[in-house]
Amino acid sequence: MIKIAVLGYGTVGSGVVELIERNGALLKERAGEEIVIKYILDLRDFPGDPYEDKIIHDYGTILEDSQISILCEVMGGVGAAYRFTKQALEAGKSVCTSNKELVAKHGAELLAIAERMHCNYMFEASVAGGIPIIRTINSVLLADRVESVTGILNGTTNYILTKMEKENADYGEVLRQAQELGYAERNPEADVEGLDAGRKIAILADMLTGKNVDPDKIATEGISKITTADFACAKAAGMTIKLLARCSVSEDGSACVRVAPYMLALEHPLGRVDDVFNGIQVTCGMLGDALFGGKGAGKLPTASAVAADVMDCAMHPGKTVMRAWSEEAAVMGDMTEMKSRFFVRTKASARDAVLEAFAGSTPVTAEGAEDAGFFTPAMREREFQAICSQLGDAVLNRIRLL
Protein backbone atom coordinates (compact mmCIF):
# COMPACT_ATOMS: atom_id res chain seq x y z
CA MET A 1 0.00 0.00 0.00
CA ILE A 2 1.32 3.41 -1.01
CA LYS A 3 0.21 6.27 1.24
CA ILE A 4 0.10 9.79 -0.11
CA ALA A 5 -0.79 13.29 1.10
CA VAL A 6 -2.57 16.06 -0.80
CA LEU A 7 -1.49 19.61 0.01
CA GLY A 8 -4.36 21.98 -0.75
CA TYR A 9 -8.02 20.92 -0.96
CA GLY A 10 -9.11 23.38 -3.65
CA THR A 11 -10.29 22.59 -7.17
CA VAL A 12 -7.29 20.51 -8.24
CA GLY A 13 -6.82 18.90 -4.83
CA SER A 14 -10.42 17.71 -4.68
CA GLY A 15 -10.03 16.47 -8.27
CA VAL A 16 -7.03 14.38 -7.27
CA VAL A 17 -8.97 12.91 -4.34
CA GLU A 18 -11.94 12.15 -6.61
CA LEU A 19 -9.75 10.50 -9.26
CA ILE A 20 -7.88 8.28 -6.81
CA GLU A 21 -11.23 7.20 -5.38
CA ARG A 22 -12.90 6.54 -8.76
CA ASN A 23 -9.93 4.91 -10.52
CA GLY A 24 -8.63 3.06 -7.45
CA ALA A 25 -8.86 -0.42 -8.97
CA LEU A 26 -7.13 0.68 -12.16
CA LEU A 27 -4.29 2.37 -10.24
CA LYS A 28 -3.80 -0.69 -8.04
CA GLU A 29 -3.64 -2.96 -11.08
CA ARG A 30 -1.03 -0.78 -12.78
CA ALA A 31 1.10 0.15 -9.77
CA GLY A 32 0.87 -3.31 -8.23
CA GLU A 33 -0.14 -1.71 -4.94
CA GLU A 34 -3.13 0.19 -3.63
CA ILE A 35 -2.73 3.98 -3.55
CA VAL A 36 -4.36 5.53 -0.51
CA ILE A 37 -4.79 9.15 0.54
CA LYS A 38 -3.80 9.41 4.19
CA TYR A 39 -3.79 13.19 4.70
CA ILE A 40 -5.28 16.26 3.09
CA LEU A 41 -3.56 19.45 4.24
CA ASP A 42 -5.63 22.63 4.20
CA LEU A 43 -6.00 25.66 6.45
CA ARG A 44 -9.78 25.33 6.29
CA ASP A 45 -12.08 22.74 7.86
CA PHE A 46 -14.51 20.86 5.66
CA PRO A 47 -17.34 19.76 7.96
CA GLY A 48 -19.49 17.09 6.33
CA ASP A 49 -16.96 16.41 3.56
CA PRO A 50 -16.57 12.66 2.91
CA TYR A 51 -12.81 13.06 3.51
CA GLU A 52 -13.22 15.22 6.61
CA ASP A 53 -11.29 12.71 8.74
CA LYS A 54 -8.21 13.04 6.55
CA ILE A 55 -8.03 16.85 6.75
CA ILE A 56 -5.14 18.15 8.84
CA HIS A 57 -3.71 21.64 9.37
CA ASP A 58 -0.15 20.85 10.41
CA TYR A 59 2.38 20.05 7.70
CA GLY A 60 4.77 18.59 10.25
CA THR A 61 2.50 15.55 10.62
CA ILE A 62 2.99 14.69 6.95
CA LEU A 63 6.71 15.41 6.94
CA GLU A 64 7.33 13.23 9.97
CA ASP A 65 5.13 10.34 8.84
CA SER A 66 7.50 7.78 7.34
CA GLN A 67 4.55 6.00 5.72
CA ILE A 68 4.03 8.94 3.35
CA SER A 69 6.19 8.50 0.27
CA ILE A 70 4.40 10.80 -2.22
CA LEU A 71 2.92 14.29 -1.84
CA CYS A 72 0.68 16.19 -4.25
CA GLU A 73 1.41 19.92 -3.94
CA VAL A 74 -1.62 21.62 -5.44
CA MET A 75 -1.69 24.69 -3.17
CA GLY A 76 0.04 27.12 -5.53
CA GLY A 77 2.30 30.05 -4.68
CA VAL A 78 6.03 30.17 -4.03
CA GLY A 79 6.03 30.65 -0.25
CA ALA A 80 4.78 27.75 1.86
CA ALA A 81 4.59 25.54 -1.25
CA TYR A 82 8.33 26.04 -1.81
CA ARG A 83 9.26 25.30 1.80
CA PHE A 84 7.00 22.25 2.02
CA THR A 85 8.27 20.84 -1.28
CA LYS A 86 11.91 21.33 -0.34
CA GLN A 87 11.44 19.71 3.07
CA ALA A 88 9.59 16.75 1.56
CA LEU A 89 12.22 16.12 -1.12
CA GLU A 90 15.01 16.44 1.45
CA ALA A 91 13.21 13.75 3.43
CA GLY A 92 13.21 11.53 0.33
CA LYS A 93 9.50 11.93 -0.37
CA SER A 94 8.44 12.52 -3.97
CA VAL A 95 6.37 15.59 -4.81
CA CYS A 96 3.92 15.92 -7.73
CA THR A 97 2.74 19.42 -8.48
CA SER A 98 0.52 21.59 -10.66
CA ASN A 99 2.36 24.74 -9.46
CA LYS A 100 3.90 26.28 -12.61
CA GLU A 101 5.13 29.37 -10.78
CA LEU A 102 7.16 27.27 -8.36
CA VAL A 103 8.57 24.96 -11.06
CA ALA A 104 9.53 27.94 -13.25
CA LYS A 105 11.20 29.69 -10.30
CA HIS A 106 12.80 26.90 -8.26
CA GLY A 107 12.57 23.82 -10.51
CA ALA A 108 16.32 23.39 -10.99
CA GLU A 109 17.02 23.43 -7.24
CA LEU A 110 14.11 21.11 -6.40
CA LEU A 111 14.98 18.63 -9.16
CA ALA A 112 18.59 18.53 -7.92
CA ILE A 113 17.39 17.65 -4.42
CA ALA A 114 15.12 14.94 -5.83
CA GLU A 115 18.03 13.47 -7.79
CA ARG A 116 20.28 13.49 -4.72
CA MET A 117 17.59 11.85 -2.57
CA HIS A 118 16.58 9.29 -5.26
CA CYS A 119 13.02 10.53 -5.34
CA ASN A 120 11.05 12.66 -7.81
CA TYR A 121 9.81 16.19 -8.33
CA MET A 122 7.16 15.89 -11.04
CA PHE A 123 5.09 18.61 -12.70
CA GLU A 124 3.01 17.25 -15.59
CA ALA A 125 0.05 19.41 -14.55
CA SER A 126 2.05 22.64 -14.53
CA VAL A 127 1.98 23.06 -18.32
CA ALA A 128 -1.16 22.55 -20.43
CA GLY A 129 -2.95 20.44 -17.78
CA GLY A 130 -4.69 17.94 -20.05
CA ILE A 131 -1.83 17.53 -22.54
CA PRO A 132 0.92 15.17 -21.36
CA ILE A 133 3.69 17.37 -22.75
CA ILE A 134 6.15 17.09 -19.84
CA ARG A 135 6.18 13.30 -19.92
CA THR A 136 6.32 13.34 -23.71
CA ILE A 137 9.49 15.44 -23.69
CA ASN A 138 11.04 13.64 -20.70
CA SER A 139 10.14 10.00 -21.26
CA VAL A 140 8.60 9.51 -24.70
CA LEU A 141 10.71 11.23 -27.33
CA LEU A 142 13.73 9.45 -25.87
CA ALA A 143 15.87 9.17 -28.99
CA ASP A 144 15.23 12.57 -30.49
CA ARG A 145 16.28 16.14 -29.78
CA VAL A 146 13.34 18.52 -29.37
CA GLU A 147 14.47 21.56 -31.33
CA SER A 148 11.46 23.78 -30.76
CA VAL A 149 8.01 23.99 -29.25
CA THR A 150 5.24 26.40 -30.19
CA GLY A 151 2.14 26.34 -28.05
CA ILE A 152 -1.19 27.85 -27.20
CA LEU A 153 -0.67 27.47 -23.45
CA ASN A 154 -3.21 29.85 -21.92
CA GLY A 155 -6.90 29.02 -22.14
CA THR A 156 -8.20 32.41 -20.99
CA THR A 157 -6.52 34.38 -23.77
CA ASN A 158 -7.40 31.71 -26.33
CA TYR A 159 -11.04 31.97 -25.28
CA ILE A 160 -10.92 35.77 -25.64
CA LEU A 161 -9.20 35.68 -29.05
CA THR A 162 -11.59 33.01 -30.35
CA LYS A 163 -14.60 35.10 -29.26
CA MET A 164 -13.12 38.23 -30.83
CA GLU A 165 -12.62 36.35 -34.09
CA LYS A 166 -15.92 34.51 -34.28
CA GLU A 167 -18.17 37.32 -33.02
CA ASN A 168 -16.22 40.24 -34.42
CA ALA A 169 -16.19 41.55 -30.85
CA ASP A 170 -14.05 44.10 -29.08
CA TYR A 171 -11.28 42.99 -26.69
CA GLY A 172 -12.60 44.91 -23.65
CA GLU A 173 -16.12 43.63 -24.15
CA VAL A 174 -15.06 39.97 -24.47
CA LEU A 175 -12.77 40.29 -21.44
CA ARG A 176 -15.69 41.60 -19.36
CA GLN A 177 -17.87 38.68 -20.48
CA ALA A 178 -15.07 36.22 -19.70
CA GLN A 179 -14.73 37.72 -16.23
CA GLU A 180 -18.47 37.40 -15.63
CA LEU A 181 -18.38 33.75 -16.71
CA GLY A 182 -15.39 33.06 -14.46
CA TYR A 183 -13.08 32.27 -17.41
CA ALA A 184 -10.93 35.29 -16.59
CA GLU A 185 -9.75 36.57 -13.21
CA ARG A 186 -10.92 39.89 -11.81
CA ASN A 187 -7.31 41.00 -12.18
CA PRO A 188 -6.62 39.43 -15.57
CA GLU A 189 -3.07 40.71 -16.01
CA ALA A 190 -1.22 37.39 -15.53
CA ASP A 191 -3.27 35.85 -18.33
CA VAL A 192 -3.81 38.68 -20.82
CA GLU A 193 -0.29 40.09 -20.58
CA GLY A 194 1.21 36.66 -21.26
CA LEU A 195 2.85 36.05 -17.84
CA ASP A 196 1.10 32.72 -17.29
CA ALA A 197 2.10 31.47 -20.75
CA GLY A 198 5.60 32.81 -20.00
CA ARG A 199 5.97 30.63 -16.90
CA LYS A 200 4.84 27.59 -18.85
CA ILE A 201 7.18 28.14 -21.78
CA ALA A 202 9.99 28.82 -19.26
CA ILE A 203 9.48 25.29 -17.92
CA LEU A 204 9.55 23.77 -21.41
CA ALA A 205 12.63 25.88 -22.22
CA ASP A 206 14.32 24.57 -19.04
CA MET A 207 13.70 21.03 -20.30
CA LEU A 208 14.85 21.75 -23.86
CA THR A 209 18.06 23.55 -22.88
CA GLY A 210 18.90 21.56 -19.76
CA LYS A 211 19.61 24.90 -18.07
CA ASN A 212 17.65 27.48 -16.14
CA VAL A 213 15.49 29.91 -18.11
CA ASP A 214 14.36 32.86 -16.00
CA PRO A 215 10.67 33.54 -16.78
CA ASP A 216 11.28 37.24 -16.08
CA LYS A 217 13.77 37.38 -18.94
CA ILE A 218 11.36 36.05 -21.57
CA ALA A 219 10.23 38.56 -24.21
CA THR A 220 6.54 38.76 -23.39
CA GLU A 221 3.69 40.58 -25.11
CA GLY A 222 0.03 40.14 -24.27
CA ILE A 223 -3.18 40.39 -26.26
CA SER A 224 -4.61 43.65 -24.90
CA LYS A 225 -3.59 45.65 -27.98
CA ILE A 226 -5.30 43.31 -30.47
CA THR A 227 -8.33 44.96 -32.08
CA THR A 228 -11.21 43.99 -34.33
CA ALA A 229 -9.33 45.80 -37.15
CA ASP A 230 -6.43 43.33 -36.75
CA PHE A 231 -8.83 40.38 -36.92
CA ALA A 232 -10.51 41.87 -40.00
CA CYS A 233 -7.17 41.92 -41.82
CA ALA A 234 -6.31 38.40 -40.58
CA LYS A 235 -9.64 37.10 -41.87
CA ALA A 236 -9.11 38.79 -45.25
CA ALA A 237 -5.85 36.84 -45.53
CA GLY A 238 -7.32 33.49 -44.42
CA MET A 239 -5.55 33.77 -41.06
CA THR A 240 -6.26 34.08 -37.37
CA ILE A 241 -4.48 35.52 -34.32
CA LYS A 242 -3.28 33.36 -31.42
CA LEU A 243 -1.17 34.06 -28.34
CA LEU A 244 1.78 31.72 -28.87
CA ALA A 245 4.54 30.73 -26.50
CA ARG A 246 7.63 29.63 -28.40
CA CYS A 247 11.04 28.23 -27.60
CA SER A 248 13.67 27.17 -30.10
CA VAL A 249 17.12 25.89 -29.23
CA SER A 250 20.04 26.44 -31.61
CA GLU A 251 22.80 23.91 -32.19
CA ASP A 252 25.04 25.98 -29.91
CA GLY A 253 22.50 25.46 -27.11
CA SER A 254 21.22 29.05 -26.96
CA ALA A 255 17.48 29.52 -26.61
CA CYS A 256 15.11 31.99 -28.19
CA VAL A 257 11.96 32.22 -26.08
CA ARG A 258 9.01 34.48 -26.72
CA VAL A 259 5.36 34.91 -25.77
CA ALA A 260 3.43 37.11 -28.21
CA PRO A 261 0.36 37.24 -30.42
CA TYR A 262 1.02 35.78 -33.87
CA MET A 263 -0.95 35.76 -37.09
CA LEU A 264 -1.11 32.26 -38.56
CA ALA A 265 -2.94 30.52 -41.37
CA LEU A 266 -6.22 28.87 -40.42
CA GLU A 267 -4.79 25.70 -41.98
CA HIS A 268 -1.85 25.69 -39.55
CA PRO A 269 -2.23 22.84 -37.03
CA LEU A 270 -2.60 25.45 -34.26
CA GLY A 271 -4.97 27.63 -36.33
CA ARG A 272 -8.13 25.89 -35.20
CA VAL A 273 -7.17 25.16 -31.59
CA ASP A 274 -9.99 27.30 -30.22
CA ASP A 275 -11.71 28.38 -27.01
CA VAL A 276 -10.15 27.04 -23.82
CA PHE A 277 -8.23 24.29 -25.62
CA ASN A 278 -4.45 24.22 -25.62
CA GLY A 279 -2.26 22.95 -28.44
CA ILE A 280 1.49 22.36 -28.71
CA GLN A 281 3.53 21.75 -31.83
CA VAL A 282 6.80 19.96 -31.10
CA THR A 283 9.59 19.84 -33.69
CA CYS A 284 12.25 17.15 -33.37
CA GLY A 285 15.32 16.53 -35.48
CA MET A 286 14.22 13.08 -36.64
CA LEU A 287 10.50 12.86 -35.97
CA GLY A 288 9.69 16.20 -37.59
CA ASP A 289 6.56 17.98 -36.35
CA ALA A 290 4.12 16.43 -33.94
CA LEU A 291 1.00 18.06 -32.53
CA PHE A 292 -0.53 17.62 -29.09
CA GLY A 293 -3.94 19.06 -28.21
CA GLY A 294 -6.31 18.93 -25.27
CA LYS A 295 -7.86 20.79 -22.40
CA GLY A 296 -5.39 23.17 -20.81
CA ALA A 297 -7.08 23.36 -17.46
CA GLY A 298 -10.07 22.12 -15.46
CA LYS A 299 -10.43 20.07 -12.32
CA LEU A 300 -10.33 16.53 -13.72
CA PRO A 301 -7.87 17.01 -16.62
CA THR A 302 -5.42 18.65 -14.20
CA ALA A 303 -6.06 15.98 -11.57
CA SER A 304 -5.40 13.29 -14.20
CA ALA A 305 -1.99 14.85 -14.86
CA VAL A 306 -1.11 15.03 -11.15
CA ALA A 307 -2.27 11.45 -10.61
CA ALA A 308 -0.20 10.21 -13.58
CA ASP A 309 2.83 11.71 -11.80
CA VAL A 310 1.85 9.92 -8.59
CA MET A 311 1.68 6.68 -10.58
CA ASP A 312 5.11 7.27 -12.12
CA CYS A 313 6.55 7.73 -8.61
CA ALA A 314 4.71 4.64 -7.36
CA MET A 315 6.00 2.54 -10.26
CA HIS A 316 9.63 3.71 -9.87
CA PRO A 317 10.42 3.64 -6.15
CA GLY A 318 13.94 4.82 -5.39
CA LYS A 319 14.50 5.95 -8.97
CA THR A 320 14.58 9.51 -10.30
CA VAL A 321 12.48 9.56 -13.45
CA MET A 322 12.64 13.24 -14.38
CA ARG A 323 15.74 14.61 -16.08
CA ALA A 324 16.88 17.64 -14.07
CA TRP A 325 18.09 20.89 -15.57
CA SER A 326 21.06 22.74 -14.21
CA GLU A 327 20.76 25.87 -12.05
CA GLU A 328 23.14 27.58 -14.47
CA ALA A 329 21.38 30.23 -16.55
CA ALA A 330 20.64 29.21 -20.14
CA VAL A 331 22.28 31.31 -22.85
CA MET A 332 19.53 33.35 -24.42
CA GLY A 333 19.68 34.07 -28.14
CA ASP A 334 19.62 37.64 -29.41
CA MET A 335 15.95 38.20 -30.14
CA THR A 336 16.65 41.34 -32.18
CA GLU A 337 18.43 39.13 -34.72
CA MET A 338 15.42 36.84 -35.20
CA LYS A 339 13.82 37.00 -38.60
CA SER A 340 10.11 36.93 -39.28
CA ARG A 341 7.44 38.46 -41.41
CA PHE A 342 5.21 41.06 -39.77
CA PHE A 343 1.68 42.28 -40.15
CA VAL A 344 1.56 46.08 -39.81
CA ARG A 345 -1.61 48.12 -39.49
CA THR A 346 -1.26 51.86 -40.09
CA LYS A 347 -3.36 54.95 -40.65
CA ALA A 348 -4.72 54.94 -44.20
CA SER A 349 -2.92 58.23 -44.89
CA ALA A 350 0.45 56.51 -44.32
CA ARG A 351 -0.11 53.86 -46.99
CA ASP A 352 2.49 55.18 -49.45
CA ALA A 353 5.07 55.88 -46.75
CA VAL A 354 4.68 52.33 -45.40
CA LEU A 355 4.99 50.72 -48.83
CA GLU A 356 8.17 52.70 -49.38
CA ALA A 357 9.62 51.99 -45.94
CA PHE A 358 8.91 48.22 -46.07
CA ALA A 359 10.09 47.42 -49.58
CA GLY A 360 8.38 44.35 -50.98
CA SER A 361 5.50 44.30 -48.53
CA THR A 362 2.05 43.05 -49.54
CA PRO A 363 -1.09 45.07 -48.77
CA VAL A 364 -3.99 43.22 -47.13
CA THR A 365 -7.36 44.88 -47.39
CA ALA A 366 -10.18 44.10 -45.01
CA GLU A 367 -13.65 44.91 -46.23
CA GLY A 368 -14.83 48.31 -44.96
CA ALA A 369 -11.59 48.92 -43.05
CA GLU A 370 -10.42 52.45 -42.30
CA ASP A 371 -6.81 51.46 -41.72
CA ALA A 372 -4.21 50.10 -44.11
CA GLY A 373 -2.75 46.61 -43.53
CA PHE A 374 0.51 45.12 -44.82
CA PHE A 375 2.55 41.97 -44.62
CA THR A 376 6.27 42.73 -44.67
CA PRO A 377 8.87 40.39 -46.15
CA ALA A 378 10.96 38.38 -43.65
CA MET A 379 13.25 40.76 -41.79
CA ARG A 380 15.22 41.04 -38.54
CA GLU A 381 13.37 42.37 -35.46
CA ARG A 382 15.99 45.09 -35.20
CA GLU A 383 15.45 46.31 -38.75
CA PHE A 384 11.70 46.12 -38.35
CA GLN A 385 11.72 48.18 -35.14
CA ALA A 386 13.96 50.80 -36.73
CA ILE A 387 11.56 51.29 -39.62
CA CYS A 388 8.56 51.40 -37.26
CA SER A 389 10.29 54.14 -35.26
CA GLN A 390 10.75 56.16 -38.44
CA LEU A 391 7.05 55.80 -39.26
CA GLY A 392 6.15 57.01 -35.77
CA ASP A 393 2.51 57.14 -34.75
CA ALA A 394 1.28 56.18 -38.20
CA VAL A 395 1.85 52.57 -37.02
CA LEU A 396 -1.26 51.45 -35.11
CA ASN A 397 -0.28 47.83 -34.45
CA ARG A 398 2.08 45.11 -35.58
CA ILE A 399 1.85 41.34 -35.17
CA ARG A 400 4.41 38.72 -36.11
CA LEU A 401 3.51 36.10 -38.70
CA LEU A 402 4.13 32.47 -37.86
Catalytic residues: 200
Say how far apart CA 215 and CA 193 lie, in whole Å: 13
Q: Contact at 8 Å (CB) between 264 and 242? A: yes
Least distance in Å: CB of 303 to its own copies? Answer: 6
Asked if 32 touches its own copies (CB under 8 A), the answer is: no
- Tell me: does residue 287 bind its own copies (CB under 8 A): yes
Q: Does 222 bind its own copies (CB under 8 A)?
A: no
The one-letter amino acid code at 300 reads L
* Cα distance between residue 228 and residue 396, in whole Å: 12
The Cα angle at residue 336 between residues 334 and 342, in degrees rounded to 5:
135
Distance separating the N- and C-terminal Cα atoms of the chain: 50
Please name the helix (run of DSSP H) or strand (run of DSSP E) that holds residue 173, with its range, or none: helix 171-180
Indicate which single residue of 66, 139, 168, 349 sits in contact with its own copies (rule: CB under 8 A): 139
Member of 118, 145, 217, 225 binding its own copies (CB under 8 A): 145
Listed ranges 78-86, 299-307, 327-335, 340-348: which one lies at the site for its own copies (CB under 8 A): 299-307
Nearest to 19 by CA among 128, 107, 130: 130
**Judged by CB under 8 A, does residue 2 bind its own copies?**
no
Q: Three-state DSSP class for 241?
A: strand
What is the Cα 372 distance to its own chain's centre? 34
**Site map 177..206 versus its own copies, x via CB under 8 A:** ------------------------------
Residue 353, Cα to own-chain centre: how many angstroms? Answer: 39
175 with 331: CB under 8 angstroms? no
Does residue 245 sit in helix, strand or coil? strand
Closer CB to its own copies, residue 143 or residue 181?
143
Minimum distance, C-beta of residue 97 to its own copies, in the bound complex (Å): 15
| 57/323 with CB nearer its own copies | 323
Nearer to its own copies, 27 or 161 (CB): 27
Nearer to its own copies among residue 11 and residue 23 (C-beta): 23
- Binders of its own copies among residues 250 to 279 (CB under 8 A) are 267, 269, 272, 279
Cβ 301 to its own copies shortest distance, Å: 5
What does the alpha-carbon distance between residue 88 and residue 259 come to, in Å, rounded to a whole number? Answer: 33
Nearest-approach distance from CB 315 to its own copies, in angstroms:
7
Q: How far is the CB of 292 from its own copies (least distance, A)?
A: 6
Q: Do 99 and 106 contact (CB within 8 A), yes or no?
A: no
Please report whether residue 19 would count as binding its own copies according to CB under 8 A.
yes
The residues in 301-360 that bind its own copies, with binding defined as CB under 8 A, are 301, 303-305, 307-308, 310-312, 315, 323
Q: Which of 50, 285, 360, 377 binds its own copies (CB under 8 A)?
A: 285
Using CB under 8 A, which of 260, 290, 338, 369 touches its own copies? 290
Q: Does 118 participate in binding its own copies (rule CB under 8 A)?
A: no
Site size for its own copies, by CB under 8 A?
A: 47
Instruction: Map residue 338 onto helix, strand or coil.
Output: coil
Q: Which amino acid is at 108?
A: A
CB of 124 to its own copies, least distance (A): 9
Is 373 an interacting residue with respect to its own copies (CB under 8 A)?
no
Q: Which of 21, 33, 167, 289 binds its own copies (CB under 8 A)?
A: 289
Q: What distance in Å separates the CA atoms of residue 4 and residue 93, rounded to the nearest whole number?
A: 10
Query: Residue-wise over 50-82: b if at least 16 C-beta within 10 A, else e?
Result: ebeebbeeebeebbeeeebbbbbbbbbeeebbb
Q: Is the dihedral of CA 337, 339, 345, 351 positive or negative?
A: positive
Residues that bind its own copies (CB under 8 A): 19, 22-23, 26-27, 30, 130-132, 135-136, 139-145, 267, 269, 272, 279, 284-295, 298, 300-301, 303-305, 307-308, 310-312, 315, 323
